[in-house]
Structure 1
Amino acid sequence: TVLFFCLQINCCLGGNVLVFPVDGSHWVNMKVLIEGLHARGHNLTVIRPTSSWYITEKSHLYTTILVSDDVNTGDFFTRYLDILMDIQKGEVSPLQFLTIQLEFFYMISRAHQHTCDMVARIIEDKELIKRLLDEKYDLVLTDPAMAGGVVLAHYLKLPLVMNVRWITSGEGHFAVAPSPLSYIPVPGSGYSDRMTFIQRVKNMLFYSIILVQDRFVVGPHYKALCDKYFDEGCDIVTLIQSADIWLMRLDFVFDFPRPTMPNVIYMGGFQCKPSKPLPEDLEAFVQSAGEHGVIVMSLGTLVNGLPMYVAEEIAAVFAKLPQKVIWRHLGDSPSTLGNNTRLVTWMPQNDLLGHPQTKAFVAHGGTNGVQEAIYHGIPVLGIPLFFDQFDNLLRLQERGGALILELSKLSGHTFHETLQQVLHNPAYRSNMQRLSRLHRDQPTKPLDRALFWVEFVMRHKGAAHLRSESFRMPWYSYHSVDVLLVLLSMVLLLVLAAVAAVRYVCCGMCWKGKVKRE
């Protein structure tokens, strides 16, 4: 009887959460939050596109709403990587570079267009909308990198919690918090928070490119969606800025210090956890490395692998090392592969990085991998491919925990030399272990902090008291341009009045002197 009543109480306290996720590595993060909320007794409904890579249709964690979608990037990222390498080596003409950049913008535009089309199909489906309204959700949890969930939350008039680092216009902080470009580097710039004058000029230009992309590539799709379904004028950036809570996938052990806002909750490394035992065959392989240890290599999910000629050189370097290597690699095996290297299509990355035998991590610099490396204190050899990866690795390199090897400089010789430094210079491991201690030294775990704030929004039907209303101000008011103009006008009037008074006095004296002489 007691157990029965306990279950009833749990059901009563459990919230009802509508989840609008983004696929790929973003889903890996979202699933961690879903698992945490499910463990606390909340009911979750996930909107799943039919073209999803990772989001399973059936799960004990959530109920699925299936929405038709036809997004297909094909092998674009693999081709884009090949051309990027040619660009960095100076083997691509300006016309070819312009062509691939236009194709890249087109692909980004098309992805957001598909997201808007999916939201439009949801809104147009009267039965589905009725179901969503009848469920009486407490909030919408979404990743605003693709902002369909933001629009849907506004349509359903529900509180909005965002699992965020990226939004439609770039890095999330630039939309929600003061972001002086004098010491806050724009993603893609490759700069730190200590910039020279020339770097600050370039940083401003990078920011201008992001604004242009948002205005002409991404923004029009959401503007059309808002104009169609909402009476009031709105734009996607304003809707994003009006979110109740921003669960930011960063912490300042990793990121450069910057201004922030009270509704930005930092949960960097929330997906990290103590390592679990490896599968028996993998554990046997790791233990066979002996005192030399293991190197883990993974370049993420967007590309199948490096071009074959590069993979051949890397495999040849690995073959000469005394360490064992576990390499996540898709496609054909390099012919130079050594007996000490094991290729896998999937690996328990967190468990491998937490294994005492792991000596180094060769990675592309995705946020998840970088934060797992910090959590476990493993030095990194970074090979950035695109997006934010160079900036992520730069932050580790600035703190002495990583070395970056750019694609344009990647060869068998440079890879071997850089890897030897990461393996045998104790400073890299020491610095990463220091970052690990700093990251872990928190009053609450990042995941617990994130779950608390999700439940806070459930309990209080939002968190408007933490949200600045500055986003409702026009730009000239936000930057006090109108106030400055008024003050400058007053000063100018006082100066003119003073000049006029002086001239009047001087002219009067001159007139009196002239009369006296006459």
Structure 2
Amino acid sequence: MNVHAIVLFCCLAASNAAKILLTTMPQGRSHAGTFMPLMHRLVEDGHEVTVFFEIFRPELPLGGGVKENLILIKGDDMSVDNDPVFTNLIWSGSMRGITIAIPFYQASKTCSALLENQPEDFYRLSNQTFDLFLTDSLFSPCGYALALLSKKPYVMMHSSDLEPVYSYLKGYGRNYGTVAPFSIAYEYPEFDVDKLYDRFGALVDFLETTFSAIVPANYFMQRAINPIVDNRYSLNTYVSQSSFSFYDMPESVAWPMPGANDLVSFGAHCKTAQPLKDEFERFVADAKSKGTILIAFGTICNWEFAPKRIVDAFVDALNRLSEYRIIWGYKGPKLDGLKSHVMVHPWIPQESILQDKRTKLFVSHGGLKSFKEAVCSETPVVYMPMFAEQLRNSWLARSLHFAEFLNKKNLTADYMEKQMRTILDDNSYQTSVSKLRQFYNDRPSKPLDAGSFWFRRLLKYGGRMPEYFYRVGAKLNSFVYFYMDALSLIAVSMYFVAS
């Protein structure tokens, strides 16, 4: 290639590059981490990607060439993982659809603190020019304000499956009466589409979630950001006017759902982890060990707030499994009485441990990332779901026969040991997850390639596709969307005929 061709190529590459801002929930490295494989791919494609979220304490770097503009909130720590009400809900309560307003309230308080006490930090970011905004579908009011102030196109990023309320507001036509609800009840962790009771429960959960998001959560966010966006924010309008929806739930492990031009699943990909080394390798290499068990519960499940009954049950159950080497990702009060076959560490190389062939079991909370890591590493799981859609993920894994379930509300050492040994002593769980891995990402194009393609298309059209690309249903009011006009006409006609 001659010099002129190289210069032309570089100019073309530069002309196609875009500045993209991703905004997530406060202290939102977990959500940002979900999006990172796709963000890293966009960086590889030549785009400049910046991530914003409010923080109360330092976060680990996101890597992959992604720029970070994390704003440290001065004063009280208002993150959800340190809020007593929310942490009690996580460890001991039930999270129904109606409770989704709680983290929206916390995020709105954080955004208000930023706007009131540190406006210079917010406007330093808002005065920058970006070509496209990617906004976390959950708990990011200051991110929504940045997108509205820019008057540029924006995309909704879903860190798990597509939430029911967004499906409704975008007119995707998903029937949430026929799929397992986001908030399955601990008292009845089942779903059978053939049962009227289960379908009715799914409908109730959809109505609860939709009401909670559209009324109280929307009010909290409006109170936080409407003063600076000229009263332009409402959840309904914001969601319906988004250019695209990217969600992380792999289609191959869930259930059939309607698709759409502007709906992209990017989650079905597996990363290659580094081999185990140093203290972790030395620990699991014990010749007397029957294998490794990994315990990890993510960042939101703060062990500082865990009830003593749960911690005691873990310690007792793990002590009974002395023929295995157990690594527990734990950051909390000092644990007494653990035997030497259990390693406790505040940070663990989770993917490296899971992909190590000596690992026989994963004990986790059922977040989507842990669900996917289990499939990618072909590791059976015992899930103890804590909140949000984790109980549904656990139900799905159990229905695919690569997991068992622990109910946090009645956890005992006997119960935990029984569920763990059920999987350790039955090879059918390993067979199921290995079979699932075979078709997990067996598809014509890789999900990250598809994500890259649709971002190129979006940017080609200035961040929003032509209007004929979108569904009319997203513009309809609820009365028309649910055929109430037609049903009213039928009812009136039947009345006159009968009279």
- Tell me, yes or no, whether TM beats 0.5: yes
Residues 487, 201 of structure 1: CA spacing in aligned structure 2 closer, same or farther, 3 A cutoff?
closer
Identical-pair percentage: 19
Task: Please list, as runs of the form range in 1=range in 2, the aligned pairs for 1:75-474 lying within 5 A after superposition.
Answer: 76=82, 108-115=104-111, 118=114, 128=124, 131-132=127-128, 135=129, 137-148=130-141, 149-165=143-159, 172-176=166-170, 177-189=172-184, 190-192=189-191, 194=193, 196-224=195-223, 228=227, 235-270=234-269, 272-288=270-286, 292-305=290-303, 306-321=306-321, 322-461=323-462, 462-464=464-466, 465-474=468-477
Q: Of the candidates 19, 22, 35, which is equivalent to residue 22 of structure 2?
A: 19
| Conservation of the 8 A alpha-carbon contact between 1:313 and 1:336 | no
Residues 208, 233 of structure 1: CA spacing in aligned structure 2 closer, same or farther, 3 A cutoff?
same
**Residue 184 of structure 1: SS of its match in structure 2?**
coil
What letter matches 1:39 in structure 2?
E
| Conservation of the 8 A alpha-carbon contact between 2:295 and 2:364 | yes
| Conservation of the 8 A alpha-carbon contact between 2:161 and 2:247 | no
| Conservation of the 8 A alpha-carbon contact between 2:325 and 2:342 | yes
Q: What TM-score does the superposition give when structure 2 sets the normalisation length?
A: 0.84
- How far apart are the structure 1 equivalents of 2:475 and 2:320? 61
| Conservation of the 8 A alpha-carbon contact between 2:192 and 2:198 | no
**Residue 252 of structure 2: SS of its match in structure 1?**
coil
Q: Of the candidates 28, 33, 41, which is equivalent to residue 28 of structure 1?
A: 33
What letter matches 1:266 in structure 2?
S
Q: Of the candidates 34, 45, 53, which is equivalent to residue 50 of structure 2?
A: 45
Q: CA deviation at 1:298?
A: 0.5
- How far apart are the structure 1 equivalents of 2:115 and 2:268? 30
| Conservation of the 8 A alpha-carbon contact between 2:126 and 2:146 | no
- How far apart are the structure 2 equivalents of 1:30 and 1:258? 22
Q: CA deviation at 1:15?
A: 1.5
Higher relative contact order (CA 8 A, sep 6+): 2
Larger Rg: 1
Residues 254, 151 of structure 1: CA spacing in aligned structure 2 closer, same or farther, 3 A cutoff?
farther
- How far apart are the structure 1 equivalents of 2:62 and 2:449? 27
Q: CA deviation at 1:333?
A: 3.9
**Residue 127 of structure 2: SS of its match in structure 1?**
helix
Deviates more, 1:198-207 or 1:22-31: 198-207
Deviates more, 1:160-169 or 1:276-285: 160-169
Deviations 1:290-314 (A, max 9, x none): 6611111111112332434433332
Residues 181, 140 of structure 1: CA spacing in aligned structure 2 closer, same or farther, 3 A cutoff?
closer
- How far apart are the structure 1 equivalents of 2:251 and 2:69? 35
| Conservation of the 8 A alpha-carbon contact between 1:143 and 1:163 | yes
| Conservation of the 8 A alpha-carbon contact between 1:45 and 1:65 | no
Residues 77, 341 of structure 1: CA spacing in aligned structure 2 closer, same or farther, 3 A cutoff?
farther
**Residue 395 of structure 1: SS of its match in structure 2?**
helix
**Residue 334 of structure 1: SS of its match in structure 2?**
coil
- How far apart are the structure 2 equivalents of 1:126 and 1:418? 48
Q: CA deviation at 1:76?
A: 4.3
- How far apart are the structure 2 equivalents of 1:301 and 1:387? 14
Deviations 1:440-459 (A, max 9, x none): 21222222222222222112
Residues 164, 253 of structure 1: CA spacing in aligned structure 2 closer, same or farther, 3 A cutoff?
same
| Conservation of the 8 A alpha-carbon contact between 1:18 and 1:44 | yes
Deviations 1:407-464 (A, max 9, x none): 1232111111110111111111111111111212122222222222222211221224
Residues 399, 156 of structure 1: CA spacing in aligned structure 2 closer, same or farther, 3 A cutoff?
same
- How far apart are the structure 2 equivalents of 1:303 and 1:360? 20
Deviates more, 1:165-174 or 1:417-426: 165-174
Q: CA deviation at 1:466?
A: 3.4
| Conservation of the 8 A alpha-carbon contact between 1:150 and 1:240 | no
| Conservation of the 8 A alpha-carbon contact between 2:115 and 2:122 | no
Deviations 1:463-510 (A, max 9, x none): 2443323222111111222133334445655x37xx8xxxxxxxxxxx
What letter matches 1:261 in structure 2?
A
Q: CA RMSD in A?
A: 3.6
| Conservation of the 8 A alpha-carbon contact between 1:48 and 1:57 | no
| Conservation of the 8 A alpha-carbon contact between 2:91 and 2:307 | no
Segments of structure 1 that go 5 or more residues without pairing to the other structure are 89-96, 500-518
Q: CA deviation at 1:250?
A: 0.5
Residues 281, 50 of structure 1: CA spacing in aligned structure 2 closer, same or farther, 3 A cutoff?
closer
What letter matches 2:465 in structure 1?
A
- The corresponding residue for 1:73 is 79
What letter matches 1:249 in structure 2?
D
**Residue 417 of structure 1: SS of its match in structure 2?**
helix
**Residue 292 of structure 1: SS of its match in structure 2?**
coil
What letter matches 2:456 in structure 1?
E
Deviates more, 1:414-423 or 1:276-285: 276-285
Deviations 1:39-78 (A, max 9, x none): 2221123334353652659995315374756652376467
**Residue 253 of structure 2: SS of its match in structure 1?**
coil
Residues 65, 358 of structure 1: CA spacing in aligned structure 2 closer, same or farther, 3 A cutoff?
closer
| Conservation of the 8 A alpha-carbon contact between 1:145 and 1:167 | no
Q: CA deviation at 1:355?
A: 1.2
Q: What TM-score does the superposition give when structure 1 sets the normalisation length?
A: 0.81
| Conservation of the 8 A alpha-carbon contact between 2:80 and 2:106 | no
| Conservation of the 8 A alpha-carbon contact between 2:73 and 2:113 | no
- How far apart are the structure 2 equivalents of 1:396 and 1:21? 27
How many residues matched?
481
| Conservation of the 8 A alpha-carbon contact between 2:78 and 2:106 | no
Deviations 1:182-214 (A, max 9, x none): 312331124435252223333333233223322
| Conservation of the 8 A alpha-carbon contact between 2:36 and 2:62 | no
- How far apart are the structure 1 equivalents of 2:411 and 2:70? 45
**Residue 251 of structure 2: SS of its match in structure 1?**
coil
| Conservation of the 8 A alpha-carbon contact between 2:165 and 2:213 | no
Residues 478, 27 of structure 1: CA spacing in aligned structure 2 closer, same or farther, 3 A cutoff?
same
Q: CA deviation at 1:404?
A: 0.3
| Conservation of the 8 A alpha-carbon contact between 1:250 and 1:269 | yes
Q: CA deviation at 1:21?
A: 2.5
